Amino acid sequence: MTQHTRTRITLGALIGVAALGLAACAGTPAGGGGGSAEGGGSSIDSVSVIAPADPGGGWDQTARAFGQALNDESLVSSAPVSNIGGAGGTVGLASLATEGNPNTLMITGSVMVGAVETNASDVRIEDMTPIAKLTEEPLVIVVPKDSPYDTLEDFIDAWVDEGAGMAVTGGSAGGIDHILAALLLTDAGVDAADVPSSLNYIANSGGGEALTMLLGGQVQAGISGVGEFSQQVEAGELKALAVSSGEPALLLPDVPTLADEGVDLVVTNWRGLIAPGDVSDDDKKALEELVTAVHDSAAWTEILDTNGWTDAFLVGDDFSTFLDGDISTTKETLKTIGLIE
């Protein structure tokens, strides 16, 4: 692999890409608390939970897991979960903007931050009420089992040589998978101005579609959350080249990190919760208290362990500050890879 100066990036906790000319933003360690909410109870009787995606996949899994914890801990009398899919979550975002029930929580995250920009959404995350950041999940770079590439170095060297001749699949255009693909190229020495023409990225609405393309030999590599590909890696259908976390992934503990492979990048896919934009201060405080109670519960701890999710809890002002920084730096990254002007 070409030797060059490497820059550490953490998307989710922080993003700073000197090679891309981005300004570094202040990071917050995963698992930190904050804000005004205190655990131990809530005045909310029932809450509606929205997954801004079709059933299956990370957002749906997170929404249903959150609803399950609410029910298991008897924190509310009911917590129905509904799906409003489309356009990287921006269809659900538009629906939330017209929601009349203040006790409504919608899953958001890295993918939606990018989709708002790439879809030029009239409704933005900033128009909603930020409640809490819940989790982070590392990404994994995989290739089919019969791929000639056995290491990340082998794959990236070939990718740099072949450019757009190498097809890479992942989630929504402009989402965290797409961003990691672009950052891998720039980290390997591809000039930022050449990334749009060098990166043949095939976007999909979920890990299932990407998996079909990988198993069918339609693409040379895939990038998605560890949870999307871990079963196929364990079954030997895919080879995992590296995970994007700073430490080994819980679901794929034997797969090296990017740093282990000489790539100084840390990129995580975060997920959290937002509420309608016009909720009162009292309603916002009640939702923060409810989400804090979920986070502190035994049921949620078990869910994190089962799914291999990293606890990245932020609530109140801490989450608002994180979200503002993530939106700003994601926008700059998307400009660099040619998806927005």
pLDDT by residue (tens digit) across 231-265? 999 999 999 999 999 999 999 999 999 999 999 99
315 pLDDT more than 90: yes
285 pLDDT more than 50: yes
Domain limits, CATH 3.40.190.150, in the chain: 48-136+268-336
Sign, Cα dihedral of 118, 55, 325, 184: negative
pLDDT by residue (tens digit) across 91-138? 999 999 999 999 999 999 999 999 999 999 999 999 999 999 999 999
CB atoms closer than 10 angstroms to residue 150: 11
CATH class of the domain at 138-267: alpha beta
pLDDT, residue 3, reads 37
Q: 114: which 2 tokens?
A: 């990018």
Domain limits, CATH 3.40.190.10, in the chain: 138-267
1 pLDDT more than 80: no
pLDDT, residue 341, reads 83
Q: Which fold has domain 48-136+268-336?
A: D-Maltodextrin-Binding Protein; domain 2 (3.40.190)
Give the pairing type, strands 10-11 and 81-83.
Answer: unpaired
pLDDT by residue (tens digit) across 83-95? 999 888 999 999 9
Give the pairing type, strands 48-51 and 81-83.
Answer: parallel
pLDDT, residue 247, reads 93
